[in-house]
Every structure is written in C-alpha cells, then in structure tokens.
C-alpha cells in the first residue's frame, strides 16, 4: 500500500495566523474567525510540496502532515 498523506491541525495550538490558507489555498480555507478548515481527503503527490511549505511556515507549528 502506498502511503497516504493527510493534513491535520492541532486546534489547541492554532492561533489563526492564516499562513496555511495563504500557502496552501488548494486545501485550506478559513472560517469567519480565521481558523483553518481542512478537508480529510488524502493529498495527491502534486500538492505535497505546497502542503509541506504550509506545515513548515505555521508560526505555532500547529499543522501536521500524516503519512499512514
């Protein structure tokens, strides 16, 4: 089985800086208070670069890319 990557957020750490939505608009939207809404779909290889960039640049390190 090929590994599947998903993006999840630790909502306890998140402080709504919104960097994730800026760097990965393909999969991250913000709610009316600025917190990320991320769907649970696996991220296709073509988008992984953007996902990793969002993870690395979150000021609270609240984004996690899983590979199960």
Partner 1 sequence: MPRVGPEGLPRLLAGYRPDGPIGLQEHVAQYGPPPWRGTHRHGGPLIDAVEASGLRGRGGASFPTGRKMRTVAQHRGRSVVVVNGSEGEALSAKDRLLLTSLPHLVLDGAALAAEAVGADEIVVAVDRASRRALSSVHRAIEARRAAQLDGALVRGVALPSRYVAGEETALVNFVNGGAAKPTFTPPRPFERGVSGRPTLIQNAETLAHVALIARYGPDWFRQLGTPDEPGSTLLTIAGAVEHGIVCEVALGTTIGAAVTAAGGATGALSAFLVGGYYGSWLPADEAWDVPLLNATLQAHGASLGTGVLYAFPVGHCGLVAAAQVADYLAGETAGQCGPCVYGLRAIADAMASIAAGQQVTAMVERLQRLFDEVRGRGACNYPDGVIRFVDTALRTFNAEVERHAAHRHCLLAPPPAMPIPVFDGRWQ
We find the least distance from the C-beta atom of residue 11 to partner 1, in angstroms, to be 4
Residue 32 or 46: which CB sits closer to partner 1? 32
DSSP string, 1-68: ----EEEEE-TTT-----HHHHH-TTTEEE-TTS-EEE--SPPPGGGHHHHHHHHHH-TT--EEEEE-
Give the interface with partner 1 as residue ranges (CB under 8 A): 10-16, 31-35, 37
Residue 39 or 49: which CB sits closer to partner 1? 39
We find the least distance from the C-beta atom of residue 6 to partner 1, in angstroms, to be 14
């Amino acid at each position: 089985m090929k590994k599947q990557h998903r993006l999840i957020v630790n909502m306890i750490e998140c402080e709504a800086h919104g960097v994730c939505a800026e760097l990965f608009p393909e999969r991250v939207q913000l709610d009316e208070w600025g917190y990320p809404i991320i769907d649970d779909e696996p991220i296709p290889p073509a988008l992984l670069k953007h996902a990793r960039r969002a993870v690395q640049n979150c000021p609270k390190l609240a984004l996690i890319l899983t590979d199960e």
